[in-house]
Every structure is written in C-alpha cells, then in structure tokens.
Structure 1
Amino acid sequence: MHVIKSWFWPGVITTALLTALAGWFLAGPVDQQLTDTVNAALESQNAWASAEVDGRDLILKGIAPSEEALAEALKIARETFGVRVVENAATLLPLAEPFSFVVTKSDDGILLSGNVPYGDARAKILAAAETAMPGIEILDEMAVARGEPQGFFDLANFALMQAAQLTNGEVEVSGETYSISGTAANAADYESINAALRLALPGNGKPGEIKLEAPASASSN
C-alpha cells in the first residue's frame, strides 16, 4: 500500500502541472481566435466597435452612433460561439438637442459649425460646401453627434446654397427650424433667397428668424 502512495502522488502532481501548463500555453491562441472572430463579425456594419477577449469573457468597446447600433453590436458579440460573458464598455455619441448646423460667411471664408451626423456625413457636407462656394476657404468646426432630424441633409444643402448668395451672414438649422441673416451679394440673389423662403423648405424645414438685407446698390435704386 505504501508503494502505491509513493507512485500515485507524484503522478497526480505531474499531471496537474502539465494540465496547468497546457492551459497557460493555449489561453493566448484561444483569446486571439475569439477576438479575431468577433472583430471580423463587427467590422462589416459596426466599424466603430472593437472587442477584447480574456479567456471566454469579452469586453465591447467604442463609441456607438446610435442605440440601435450598440444593441446590434452587443447581439453579435453575445451570439459568437465560444463567448461566455459580454461586458459593455461602449458608449453612445452625445445627443444634440437641438441638432444644429451653422454656416457663417465672412471676408475670411466659410465656417461650418454645430453638429454633423456619424459616418460619411462630414465628407458629404464639405463636398457640398465646396460645390456651392468654390474657391472659398472652408473651416470645419462641426462636432459629431446623434439626433439629426429627418431630412437634415436636404435642409443643410439648402443652407449652403443660400449662404453662397450672401456677401456675409449666417444661416442656421436648429432641429427643423431654418434661420438666415446677412446681406445678399446682389439684387438677383436677394430676390432668389426671398423667393426660395416663400416656398416649402426642404427636409421638413420650418422658417425661423429671417433678417436678410439687400445690397447697398439695390437699396439705392
């Protein structure tokens, strides 16, 4: 019986050590494989999100553009085979209430401020500004946020086109409210801006404060 004990305990200890070493060496590859699998699944529609895995526990990170996007990313993470627990360390983009977009035109150029939606919205607005006012320096101070109203891009494009008809001034979209102030570049632009404001505004826009001045040459006629 004594012989059996002297053989048994060293064998148990050796087996335990080998098992621990195997787990230690295999943990890294398993972690990396799960991380790669989840990140590949997220990349197609949730590029904002990233995952870190420790063992089989996953941490979701990033700044989600919407509550729906966050819920979708969490669903993908939780349904990935091999993941045991998902910790949500992701946050949401700040909500702008009201969501605003401001075009300020001066002798120094064009200043775009206020908010811009997540994604390629910034590039689209900058391209529209360059098209509406070619050759004019454009300064971008827009902050990414949630909460843009339906039809935001239509109303923002309208604001850029009307700003192009000013020598100086400001056009603001605040939620769905559209305001404009400044001096028209010439008599034709003055009439064009006013005529457009008498029609239904694009993007569900509602008229706000209108302080448009005719150019000095027009008012003297």
Structure 2
Amino acid sequence: MHGFYRWSNKWWPGIIPLALLWALAGWNSTQPLEADLAARSNQALKNTVLDKTRISVAGRDVSFAAQAFSEEGRRSAVASVEAAPGVRLVNDETRLVAEAKPFVWVAERDNVRVTLWGTAPLPASKARILEAARAALNGTEVSDRMGMARGAPARFDAAALLLVDQMSKLKEGKIVLSDIGVSLSGMARDLGGREAIAAALKNLPEGFVVASNEVKAPPYIFQANKDPVAVTLTLSGYVPDNNAHAALAAAAGRKFPNEKIVDNLKASIGAPSGFTAAVTSALGALSRLSTGTLVVSDREIKLSGDALYEAAAGQIRAGLTRELPLGWTSKPEISVKPAAAPVDATVCQQLFAQNLTKGRIRFESSSASINADSAGLLDRLVETAMRCPSTNVEIVGHTDRSGAEEFNQELSEKRAQAVADYLVKAGLPADRFTAVGYGSALPIASNDTDEGKAQNRRIEFVVRP
C-alpha cells in the first residue's frame, strides 16, 4: 500500500506538462482554422455594400457585425457568411445604417476650401461626389466630412453631382440639398455666374425643386484712371455689350482729346440700369481733373483726384450728383491741384496752342452752347490763363462756310463770348478777355469736306502782353 502511494506521488506531476503540450497542440491547430474561416467570411462579403464591417472567429463560430444600407442587404450579408465553408454558427450583430429625416447634404465654400458634409446614401455615392468636387474645383482644397445614412431621395447622386459642379461658379457660399429641396446662397465668382447657376438648376433630376436661390452677382465694376505723366486714360472693367462699349470709347475720345485711350473693357451681363448714361457723365467729371480715378461699382460712383482750380472742384461735386440717373449715388473726393508757377506771355501763348492742338472746343450744332465734352479742355485753358495774370487774352471765334455769312459772323462772336464767360465764371477778371468773331472769313482748311469744315469751326486764343 505504501508502495502504491509512493508510485502515484511520482506519476501525477508528469501529467501537468503533458496537458500543457496537449493544449498547445490544440491552440496551434485552432488558430489557422479560425484565420481561414475569417478570410472565407470576408471573401463571402466581397460583393456586399456594408459599412463598419467586423468579423471575429472562435473555433468555427463567427461573430459578424456591420451596418447595412437596407434590410435586404443585411439579410443577404448574414446569409453569405453562414454559407461560407466551415462556418458552424453565425452570431448576427448586424444593424441597419441610421435613417436621416430629412436627408441633408451640404457643400460650403469659403476663401480657403470647399467642405462637403451632411449625408450620402452609399460609400460609392460619397466617393463619386468627392471625385467630382475635386475635378470641378481645379486644385481647391476639398474637405470631406460626409457621413452616410438611409433615406436619400431617388436620383440623389445625379442631383448632388450637378450641385457640386455649381460650386466652381461661387466665390463663397453654400448649397444645401434637403430631401428634394435645393437652397443656394453666396456670391458668384464672376459676372454671369449667377445666371449660369440658375440655368444649370433647370437640369435638376425629376422631382427636385429649387427652394431658394440667393446667390448674388459680384459688383459690376467699371474703372477709369487718368495719368497726366503718361498722358493716358486707362479704361478697365465691364460694359453691358458692344454697343455700350463703342459709345463709351467714343465719349472718352471726345472728352480726353489729349490723352491716349487704353481700352481694357470687357462686355458682360449684369449692368445696372442707366449704366451708359451714368458712366458717360462720370467720365466728363473725370476729364476736368488734373489726375484722378473713377470707380463705378453697381450704382455707386467714386471719383477722386485734383481739380485744376477751386471753382471747378465745387462744380464737379455738384454736377456729378445732379447728372446721375435715378437710383445712383456718388462719392466725390475732389481736392485742388496746387497752383502752377507763373509764366510770361510767350510761354502762355504756347500753352494755349498746345491745349488746342489735339482738342477743340465743341458747341451744339448752329449754337453758341458749349458741349459738355469740352469741359476738361476749358478747365485746362482756365489754368493756363491763371498762370499769366498780367496778360490780356483775345478769344477768337471762327465758323465754316455753311449757312449765311451774316449768321456765321454772329455765331462766331457768340461762341467766342461763351468761352470768355466760362473763364470769367471760373474766377478770372472779365477785363482780361476780349471776344471777337470772324465768321467764315479765315479758314485753315477746305470747306469742301466735312473734315475741313470741322477744322474751320474753331476757337483761338491770342495773348496780348
């Protein structure tokens, strides 16, 4: 008996390592089996559309968790795992993706990036929208914050892709798709962008509607800069059409006869009503400045620069406001150019001649009324007269040969007097000026052509010490 106990005490300690070896062998054989079942289960799901899929295997039992986008898809996915070779039991932990009510998708743009958020119905939808956004926005950063949910309206993808394309036309703004309703807000990138977006929205898939479109057009900008050093007038910005372009270019040529016109204007829709008339008037005001800038933004006119003398500054401010069409506003910032140094009679005569070399004082047809286009030229003549205060000036009127000689004589005298009155109104002494007229008696060109007649209709300044 004692011998048996001694034998048993020696035998049982050997069982422990044997059990460990048996367990290790079992573990080593189970691990490859579980990995194989996990691979088979995942392979069974390759053609399913799921989110957040998770597979774990214990022996031959599979725990399967995922979010499905439909009940049919969920059941099909579970059945696929159950049918995988070697699977004994499936622990079904699948759920349906949450349903969004309302189903909202948003694209939002700021100065830095475009952010996509809200919900997409499927991973493939999300990928298509993101790819389309990056293609349409040409290098602009696209931030993806889209989630996924059930409940999208039919033809969601087509609607979202069309709306993504509109983001390229926005400088900043937001597009919201809520169920079948589309809402837009923000600022169009270019003139015409607002209209282009509105036209594109007409192609929304059937069933979708535009709930609101508050996209604004950028300001309609026209600019003119007068540079006395380069002797140029530079026009830039927009005009409504080719006819308005031609009219404003012609007006600039008449009002700025001594300047080279640099025309960088482009035609674009979106001009406010009264645009051409307002800009023409504003160009006239700019022509009276020594140096200046005109900025037309929608219905607001900003004019800044130096008038040639004090009285002109007041006239320009008042005239700009008075002549604008209804609904337009002006912001004149007019200072007065410092008085130029005095000159003697000879230089004074040269300055008068230079001013009248390219430009001529214009009058209404068969009238002594001075055309508004000549205001800038007349102001330069005023400035010249102010530089030679000790001289007297004879203002001489001439006409072409059209009409009766007596009428032409009287017309030439009245036109000369109208110019003298302009100078006196500017603040110069009336006794310095004498107005005379010679009718058509002293032509400088042939009266047989329109060009020659235009040269003969003239005002001359003769300086008397």
Q: Distance in 1 between matches of 2:212 and 2:120?
A: 22
Whichever residue aligns with residue 169 of structure 2, its letter is Q
> 1:201 aligns to what?
204
Whichever residue aligns with residue 214 of structure 1, its letter is A
- Work out whether 1:210 is the aligned partner of 2:206: no
Whichever residue aligns with residue 217 of structure 2, its letter is A
Pick the aligned partner of 2:153 from 140, 149, 154: 149
- Work out whether 1:34 is the aligned partner of 2:37: yes
Within a 5 Å distance, the mapping from 1:1-221 to structure 2 comes to 24=26, 27-45=30-48, 49-197=53-201, 199-202=202-205, 204-217=207-220, 218=270, 220=272, 221=275
Whichever residue aligns with residue 172 of structure 2, its letter is N
Identity %: 30
Whichever residue aligns with residue 206 of structure 1, its letter is V
Q: Distance in 1 between matches of 2:129 and 2:49?
A: 22
Q: Distance in 2 between matches of 1:194 and 1:86?
A: 53
Is the partner of 1:120 in helix, strand or coil? helix
Is the partner of 1:142 in helix, strand or coil? strand
Is the partner of 1:215 in helix, strand or coil? coil
> 1:10 aligns to what?
none
Contact between 2:40 and 2:85, CA under 8 Å: does it hold in 1?
Answer: no
Shift of 1:86: 2.0
Report the CA distance shift for 1:219/1:140 in structure 2 as closer, same or farther (over 3 A).
farther
Higher RCO by CA contacts (8 Å cutoff, separation 6 or greater): 1
Whichever residue aligns with residue 42 of structure 1, its letter is L
Contact between 1:115 and 1:142, CA under 8 Å: does it hold in 2?
Answer: yes
Instruction: Give the unaligned 5+ runs of structure 1.
Output: 1-16
Contact between 1:150 and 1:203, CA under 8 Å: does it hold in 2?
Answer: no
Q: Distance in 2 between matches of 1:75 and 1:163?
A: 43
Q: Distance in 2 between matches of 1:133 and 1:78?
A: 45
Q: Distance in 2 between matches of 1:103 and 1:33?
A: 44
Whichever residue aligns with residue 99 of structure 2, its letter is L
User: How many pairs are equivalent?
Assistant: 203
**Range with greater deviation from structure 2 (36-45 or 157-166):** 36-45
Instruction: Give the unaligned 5+ runs of structure 2.
Output: 1-17, 221-269, 276-465
Contact between 2:187 and 2:218, CA under 8 Å: does it hold in 1?
Answer: yes
Q: CA RMSD in A?
A: 2.9
Shift of 1:30: 4.5
> 2:235 aligns to what?
none
Shift of 1:110: 1.2
Shift of 1:79: 3.0
Contact between 2:170 and 2:186, CA under 8 Å: does it hold in 1?
Answer: yes
Q: Which runs of 4+ in 1 moved over 6 A?
A: none
Is the partner of 1:97 in helix, strand or coil? coil
Q: Distance in 2 between matches of 1:37 and 1:65?
A: 22
